[in-house]
Structure 1
Amino acid sequence: MCSNISSTPTQTEWFRVINRTKPSCVSSMYGSDGKPSFCDGFQNGFEMSSNISSVFLKIKRVDLSDSGLYFCGFYIDGHTVIAGSTHLKAQGNSESDFGVDSKTEKESEGMTNGMIVILGALTVFLTIVVIVLAVKIRKLQTAVIEEPQAERNKDLGSDELNYAALNFQAKTKRSRRPASERELEPHVVYAATR
């Protein structure tokens, strides 16, 4: 049932949505005393009626396949306006007219739940792999940046880092000695540490 929101006779329609798919037309009727027409697949087992205040949709024999979201709409000023909705969840223990029994439905729910668990575990695993790879890449980038500094200091001990060597040349005398005598002594090195 849904409330009649139109003050004048108008086209009224019922729709059904199953598992968030597109809406399917169930029936339509013009005014409260009009003859209802039923859409494909809904000719048998459904009744539509109306009075001044409400619009009704009756299912003569409810089946598991009748489950879904039912809503009614009114055609007002060139637009369909939704006035109300009802969620119908049919339950049963025996086999339905369409060959679906509760055992089959439970098995399909179990398979769906199993797939959700598997997809969830796979998502967690892949997230961990991505995090591990990101950490390894970060470490490699840090190592590449620090490598030149380490290369410069790898062969130096702590005493050698503060060592400086100096080689002093003797002041040349203005004498006219041969070139061989003017050369520095080759084996003298002066050193200082800090």
Structure 2
Amino acid sequence: MLIAFRFLNGSAVVTVVLNPSIVSDLYPVEQRGRALAITGFGPLIGPVIGPIVGSYLGGTAGWRWTFWLMAILSGACEILFLVFFRETYKVRILQQKAARITNETGDESVWSKYEVEDAEKRTVKEVMKEDFIRPMQMLIFSPALILLSLYVAIVYGYMYLVMTTITMVFEGLYGFSEGSSGLSFLGLSKSYPDRF
């Protein structure tokens, strides 16, 4: 069961991809660098703080509470997100504005620039070709993209190999307690200030 949900948890990674797009919509170019640095800090510091909190919480309250804490925090963040977050995609904002003006005035000639461009709806085949096949073609036929993807895959593979085995090493070989073994992840945070 845990392995199945761990597999489904991969869908949450989409936030890492969407963050730069949302930040670029929210901030002008002059302020974008600092905002991207702040939002990029979360995925870097999470693998450091998460195991520390999880190991102490699991050691004192039981392993189920690590999941309960994540569910509570995620639920609270989702509620705040739904209440306070507004649309940032310019295309969608203009489409909503055109629809609102059409509803208020009854004038059917009001269109957003993007609706005129999208007047011809794409077929399922065109969507599949553009959204799924094209990225794979780019990956296969671009040597720079292949090398960069392989490099990132190897780096992340080693990083997660270390992160999944480090607690076993410190608990089994060095006799650390469950809570203290989480502190071994503090070493990962040593290089983070250098990146900012």
**TM-score surpassing 0.5?**
no
- The structure with the largest helix share of the pair is 2
Q: Which has the higher contact order (CA 8 A, sep 6+)?
A: 2
When the two structures are superposed, what TM-score results if normalisation uses the length of structure 2? 0.28
Larger gyration radius, structure 1 or structure 2: 1
Q: Write 1 or 2 for the structure with the bigger share of strand.
A: 1
TM-score computed with the length of structure 1 as normaliser: 0.28
